[in-house]
Amino acid sequence: MTKLPVRFAGLGAAAVLVGVVLSTPAAAAGAFPAFGLPFDTGRSVYSAGIHSDNGTSGVKNAIDFSPGDKTVRAPLAGTVRIQHCDGGDWVTVDHDGGWRTGYYHMEGISVTDGQRVVPGDALGRTGNALPCGGSSTGAHVHFTLWTLPAVAKGGDSRDFGVGAGNWNGMSYDEVSTKVAEAYGEAVDGKIFGGWQFAAGTDQYSGTATEVSSRATIPLPGRFRV
């Protein structure tokens, strides 16, 4: 949900591979699920790096992705929750164990509220949509990770307000500060689709390490899954 740096335009830049020691990801709600990545396998993808939801401060719970086919897909089975704003809609997906993923800036949303999805189902296309505010430069998806305690306890995310996921009408500023502070889950050390992500010191930085080969891509950078 943040402005993508101008360097996102450098999609042709080659990535440098180096070795890295992997660490074990921590779990906050249920055990951390076996997430995939929010795009198809066999694709080249550019990532502008790991950052906080507002790209300025707070927990680094977001990663920007731009897959080559421009299609955003569910990385894990779950239930779609469409979040409404005056400027349009954006997508979150609730997963078992109280985990929630978010997909901002998407255009051509292809799912509906309450729809069950399985890994690989198309959610929409990468874009520059700003339904609740914010800014964007260069079509991408702002992929975000949260935990929702009420959902983890068996609640319906539509019934318990902000704490359980009803974020309808909330502005970009509210989601990226109030919600992020309460429920944002750091992506640092976590594995998505066989790649472990590590946050850097700065916003929009970090690394993506392929678990099987232990090769590391500096972020911002491009890699193939």
Active-site positions read 105, 140
The amino acid present at 48, given as its one-letter code, is A
Strand blocks (E) in the chain: 18-19, 44-51, 62-67, 71-73, 78-85, 88-95, 99-104, 116-117, 122-125, 141-147, 191-192, 195-198, 206-210, 215-219, 221-224
Distances 203 to 19, 49, 127, 183 between C-alpha atoms, Å: 22, 8, 21, 19
DSSP label of 1 = -
Whole-angstrom Cα distance, residue 11 to residue 22? 27
Residues 6+ apart with CB under 8 A from 205: 49, 50, 199, 219, 220
- Residue holding tokens 């539509």? 158
Tokens of 53: 């939801």
Q: Could you tell me if 115 and 105 are in contact, meaning their C-beta atoms sit under 8 angstroms apart?
A: no
Distances 7 to 13, 49, 202 between C-alpha atoms, Å: 10, 11, 15
